[in-house]
Amino acid sequence: MHKPYNALGVARDARPSQPVTLVRPHAALRAARFFAQKFPGTSMYAVKANPSPDLLRVLWDGGIKTYDVASIAEVRLVRATLPEATLCFMHPVKPFESVFEAYHTHGVRVFSLDGMDELEKIVEATSTDGVAATDLTLCVRLRVSSSHSKLSLASKFGVGVEDAAPVLMAARQAADALGICFHVGSQAMSPAAYSDALALVRAAIVAAGVTVDVVDVGGGFPSIYPGMEPTGLQRYFDVIHAAFEDLPVSYSAELWCEPGRALCAEYASLIVRVEKRRGDTLFINDGAYGALFDAAHVDWRFPAELLREVPSHAKPLGFSFYGPTCDDMDFMRGPFMLPADVQAGDYLEIGMLGAYGCAMRTAFNGFTNGDTQVAGDEPMESAYVVTEPSREVVTPMRRVKR
């Protein structure tokens, strides 16, 4: 990989026939430093958002030393890439074999659960010669609302507050350290998502009468997309810290979080070529079965720019996209705002695809990603900007103009 100045340079010089992924390590490093320095506890990266080994190493360099893994494949990946990392197996429903290997082979000691059956499985899988492990941190996942978030995670996992007491009490007996975790949903647009959830944590602790050593507020920390411009992340941290300080937990209790999107959204963007225009619909060479899964299946809007040596002065127009496969579902409604004179042969950059975009890619219909290049310019949107480089002060910012 070489390091061009920006997306326009790649489009102009290479004229690629396949999509090109641009990665910006400096953007991920900046996000990692922000969480490592500003969050009032431990930040663990949710690997599912983007499992790139290169990204994992960048986040490590930025101060992220703990990783939320959700499968044995992710356990193996992070252990091989970052041998000294702390791994937390935070999927609430895991195969017995995965728990066994994670504990006995890879040194994983933190596991989440949301019911008695999973607790029994973890205890059995981590036992040695019939003797139960004494070094487990067990985090009981509580079901909380996703009403403040763009994507709900409220139905699949989690035990309700009204049913949590027996699970918490049993986990307390099996654990060296007991935690409560939750997930407010993806792209939480208000810090109230966390204060509301922590109120439920308080209720669960009081009902169970247990000593809690860890409170894990999960993920959901937002990035900036068209039509989604949340308040600065520091406000989220302040609200979380205030609510955590008010909880009836152990005096030495730890506060954790699991950012995924917020750490990697700005890491990658995509260069695509327009193959055909039909009215306000553009046929491009990536789509629903590639990096634009979310744009197709959950109507996620990503920032888009036309890449031309001479900038267009045509008025903006909202476009929809069709991807390259033969499937009608390979459609992204948008609207993606671009100059009205965009045409076949033009190149576009679609931004903020570091989270889930690369991770969701398939090779359906034979269409795959092309090259990956390192870019040195700023991402198309950013929640971080260094205002005083010598002090690494990070504050929110709006759209970055090239």
Per-residue pLDDT, 389: 41
- Work out the end-to-end distance of the chain between its first and last CA atoms, rounded to an integer number of angstroms: 22
Q: Mean pLDDT throughout 190-213?
A: 97
Q: What is the pTM of this model?
A: 0.92
Q: What CATH number matches the domain at 25-264, 3.40.50.300, 3.40.309.10, 3.20.20.10, 1.10.3080.10?
A: 3.20.20.10
Is the previous residue joined to 389 through a cis bond, with omega within 30 degrees of 0?
no
Least confident residue range of 8-22, 325-339, 377-391: 377-391
Per-residue pLDDT, 199: 97
Q: How confident is the model at residue 363 (pLDDT cuts 50, 70, 90)?
A: confident
Residue 3 pLDDT exceeds 70: no
Residue 167 pLDDT exceeds 50: yes
Q: Mean pLDDT throughout 234-248?
A: 97
Residue 366 pLDDT exceeds 90: no
How many whole angstroms separate alpha carbon 229 and alpha carbon 381? 10
Q: What percentage of the chain exceeds 90 in pLDDT?
A: 87
Residue 397 pLDDT exceeds 90: no
Residue 398 pLDDT exceeds 80: no
Q: What is the pLDDT of residues 155-165, one digit of tens each?
A: 899 999 999 99
Q: Mean pLDDT throughout 211-235?
A: 96
Count other Cβ atoms within 10 Å, centred on residue 401.
6
Q: Mean pLDDT throughout 377-399?
A: 58
**What interhelical angle do 25-38 and 233-245 show, nearest 10?**
30
Largest CA distance in the chain: 73
Contact 92, 113 (CB under 8 A): yes
User: Tokens in use for 114?
Assistant: 């949301």
Per-residue pLDDT, 259: 98
Q: Mean pLDDT throughout 300-307?
A: 96
List residues with catalytic annotation.
326
Provide CB contacts within 8 A for 230, sequence distance 6+. Answer: 188, 189, 190, 222, 224
- DSSP state, residue 143: P
How many whole angstroms separate alpha carbon 245 and alpha carbon 381? 33
Q: CA 268 → CA 29, 254, 289, 341, distances in Å?
A: 13, 32, 17, 26
CATH of domain 7-22+266-374: 2.40.37.10
Domain boundaries, the chain: 7-22+266-374, 25-264
User: Tokens in use for 227?
Assistant: 């039509």
15: left (phi over 0), alpha (psi -120 to 50) or beta: left
